[in-house]
Structure 1
Amino acid sequence: MSCMKHADLRREILFELSDVARAMRTHIDQRARQHGMTRAQWAVLARVQRQEGATQTELAEALEIQPISLVRLVDRLCAQGLVERRAHAKDRRVNLLHLTDRGRDLLAELTPLGRDIAREILDELSESQTLDLLHKLLLMKRNIKSASAKHVANGAEQGGRDAEAR
């Protein structure tokens, strides 16, 4: 790969990142199934634990998923007795999400599994390489958000110009 052009190398990195993300999702799903759940359900449980009492809308935003997708996941978790919806004290139309004792117990079981998965995936990286990778991934994430915001702004601007031209 040393004779690869810089632009080609950048594109190759994006392909590899996509492949790694897909493989990681598949691996985590396989491991989560051993505990009777999906990766998505696990993510919701973990987020509810971090944001106990959050609304479904807040949780959907934090997980970057559509509210309707979250509703289905929460419905399943409620049916399993892992999460409960509680009506907001001031607005009964709003549900606040809380873990049940059973949900807390399951997350306690899943915590070592999460560590095992991280170890399996990052096994050959030193601590400094892991930290460096994290910094680079966070930088890429910031770049993506910035580029997306610019494209949305440019699209809105372009849309306005297109409407004026008609």
Structure 2
Amino acid sequence: MNPSTVTAEFLESLTKASQKIRTAFNQQVSAHGLTYPRARTLFYLAKKQNITQSELASVLELEQATMVRLLDRMAENGLIKRQADVKDRRTNLIVLTPHGEEQAALVESIAADLRSQIFANIDPFELRCSIALLERISANVTELSDIHVPA
């Protein structure tokens, strides 16, 4: 098999696996009344609170307008609150409420169960090799984006 065919098959398999994982996660969180974007936001905020809206949008790769609407709905549902940043009064920090912390714990539990099922019959050595491969691919992609194409 030529290298071009193998790389195309790899990327196709990676894309399919990613889509299936996202779909499975979405089905699980939807059963608990959460949307995929809300679950991702809760998941991230559980790890790093007191983050600005802009930082959160960047990490989650969402447009600012989309992030504002998402956070507005999450605030209306009592999942988050916005607090003024003592270092910069023009900026709000996003903080989980107690209800948001409960929902974030639920999302983490769902994610842990899903990971357990997904990787049930996979050797940890294979996973480490796969992680190393994906990190090299990611570095190559980063190098591509660092290349400036002349106008």
User: Which residue, 112, 115, 118 being the options, matches 2:112?
Assistant: 115
SS at the partner of 2:95? strand
More strand by share: 2
Contact 2:71 2:80 in 1 (8 A): yes
Contact 2:43 2:107 in 1 (8 A): no
| Structure 2 gap segments, 5+ residues each | none
Structure 2 length normalisation: TM-score? 0.91
Q: How do residues 54-65 of structure 1 correspond to structure 2 at under 5 angstroms?
A: 54-65=51-62
Q: Deviations over 1:60-110 (max 9, x none)?
A: 112222222211211121111011111222443311100001111112222
Contact 1:49 1:98 in 2 (8 A): no
State the alpha-carbon separation in 1 of the partners of residues 25 and 52 from structure 2: 26
Question: For residue 111 of structure 2, what is the amino acid of its counterpart?
Answer: G
Contact 2:78 2:99 in 1 (8 A): yes
The alpha-carbon deviation at position 39 of structure 1 amounts to: 2.0
State the alpha-carbon separation in 2 of the partners of residues 34 and 128 from structure 1: 33
Could you list the structure 1 runs, at least 4 aligned residues long, displaced by more than 3 angstroms after superposition. none
Residues paired across the two proteins, number: 151
User: Which residue, 48, 52, 60 being the options, matches 2:49?
Assistant: 52
Q: How do residues 89-128 of structure 1 correspond to structure 2 at under 5 angstroms?
A: 89-128=86-125
1:29 equivalent in structure 2? 26
2:80 equivalent in structure 1? 83
SS at the partner of 1:36? coil
1:6 equivalent in structure 2? 3
Greater relative contact order structure (CA < 8 Å, 6+ sep):
2
Report the structure number with the largest CA radius of gyration.
1
